[in-house]
Amino acid sequence: MRKVAIIGIGMTKFGNLWDRDLVSLSVEAGMKACHDANISQEEVEALYGGTMSGGLFVNQEHVAALLGDFSGLKNIPCTRVEAACASGGLALRQAYIDVASGMHDIVVAGGVEKMTDIGGAAVTKTLATAASQEWEAVYGATFPGLYAMVAKLHMHKYGTTEKQLAMCAVKNHKNAVYNPFAQFRREISVQDVLNSQKVADPLNLLDCSPITDGAASVILASEKKAKKLCKKPIWILGSGHAIDTISLHDREDITTLKATVEAAKQAYKQAKLSPKDIDCVEVHDCFTIAELCAVEDLGFCKKGESGKFIESGHTQIGGSIPVNTSGGLKAKGHPIGASGIAQVIEAVLQLRGEAKGRQVDAKIAMTHNVGGTGGTAVVHILGR
């Protein structure tokens, strides 16, 4: 396989963007990425776009051709990628495989979601389509409820506390203050989290990622093209993708996301690296308990020790493994299809030394994108 680099990045502001639509968000992110890569859209040879449910959110299917058309990508292959909340991460992986295989030299990987055009109840119902309809959604289970069960068991088995969960949210909000694209650029306290409305015991409102609109894009290139076009290419060193049962009740241990474990193994093996080599990581913190599980499943601490690990400051900027320097899904926002790409953009900014206000000393970065409660996981390792 050929070496593959990221040579351009672009994203929109994340938030409740009432005056924007799916197409305008995608075009903005894509044009920014092309400008950053110093290429024109005519040089793009293929597009992979992640979106969970254009049909249910904005009543629009056939999204890949639509976005390619409005982006000026005429008559090239454009493919929609769907893996629930891991749609963006999987779009990146498909684009990576495309370039690595030699099929194309310059490819766009993007992600977008426009979630706020429907009411909160409709959003919840749409998101629940990523859970098992037969065994979970039909009984009224929503993702806050499913992740609450994971949290309850983690607390029961390992002594994890609500305070430790809250500390994830506090850290991520603090980091988001310095991210100009983040939805919530304000700090919160542990007490704020604990006093916020209960959503699904033990998860409170401020333990949960928000409903968000936004888009993000990256430009991938072959080694030859990257060295010609880019002064600071960021190389994809490893890529992993795995699945698990969609239904929680079919798993041996719901506090371990085996899809994450296996995807991470693949990425570490390909990159010839281990957890101790990672300088910063963007994990899929759709709920605070998801960040705790991710820190364990990616190998940064032992199973059951993530609560104390986080409480000791290891995941803060300046800690042993800074987690979610962007603000994470919790504070940066979570436009489902765009989240995995936005994670990669943060990794690129850190590796370029361009993450103003939240910069860490990073030579190797990791991203971790999850679909549903772990039915899909995609892990990437990037380096200078």
Do 80 and 144 sit in the same domain of this protein?
A: no
> What is the signed CA dihedral for 81, 82, 87, 90, rounded to 10 degrees?
-50
Do 194 and 342 sit in the same domain of this protein?
A: yes
Do 114 and 142 sit in the same domain of this protein?
A: no
- Return the pLDDT at 320: 98
Cα 347 from Cα 384, distance rounded (Å): 10
- Return the pLDDT at 291: 98
Written as six digits, the tokens of 35 are 């400008």
Written as six digits, the tokens of 132 are 């098992």
- Return the pLDDT at 234: 98
Do 377 and 256 sit in the same domain of this protein?
A: yes
CATH of the domain at 77: 3.40.47.10
**3-state SS assignment for residue 136:** coil
Do 114 and 124 sit in the same domain of this protein?
A: no
Written as six digits, the tokens of 261 are 């474990």
Q: Is the pLDDT of residue 302 over 90?
A: yes
- Domain total of the chain: 2
- Return the pLDDT at 50: 98
Cα 120 from Cα 140, distance rounded (Å): 15
Q: Are 177 and 355 in contact (CB under 8 A)?
A: no
Of the candidates 234, 268, 301, which is a domain's last residue? 234
- Return the pLDDT at 74: 87
Q: Residue 194's pLDDT band (boundaries 50, 70, 90)?
A: very high
- Return the pLDDT at 120: 87
Count helices and strands (H / E) in the chain: 14, 11
Cα 353 from Cα 337, distance rounded (Å): 26
Cα 1 from Cα 23, distance rounded (Å): 33
Do 153 and 34 sit in the same domain of this protein?
A: no
Do 108 and 134 sit in the same domain of this protein?
A: no
Alpha carbon of residue 142 to chain centroid: 20
Do 106 and 248 sit in the same domain of this protein?
A: no
Do 260 and 124 sit in the same domain of this protein?
A: yes
Q: Is the pLDDT of residue 119 over 90?
A: no
Write out the catalytic residue numbers. Answer: 85, 334
Task: Give per-residue pLDDT as tens, 63-99.
Answer: 999 999 999 998 999 999 999 999 999 999 999 999 9
Q: What mean pLDDT, rounded, does the chain reach?
A: 97
**3-state SS assignment for residue 76:** coil
Do 205 and 220 sit in the same domain of this protein?
A: no
Written as six digits, the tokens of 204 are 């409170």
Q: Are 292 and 154 in contact (CB under 8 A)?
A: yes
Please name the residues in contact with 59: beta carbons below 8 A apart, sequence gap of 6 or more: none
Do 163 and 219 sit in the same domain of this protein?
A: no
Do 101 and 200 sit in the same domain of this protein?
A: no
Pick the closest to residue 129 from 183, 177, 87 (CA basis). Answer: 87
Write out the residue range of the structural domain in which residue 112 sits. 4-118+212-234
Task: Give per-residue pLDDT as tens, 230-287.
Answer: 988 999 999 999 999 999 999 999 999 999 999 999 999 999 999 999 999 999 999 9
Q: Is the pTM of this model over 0.95?
A: yes
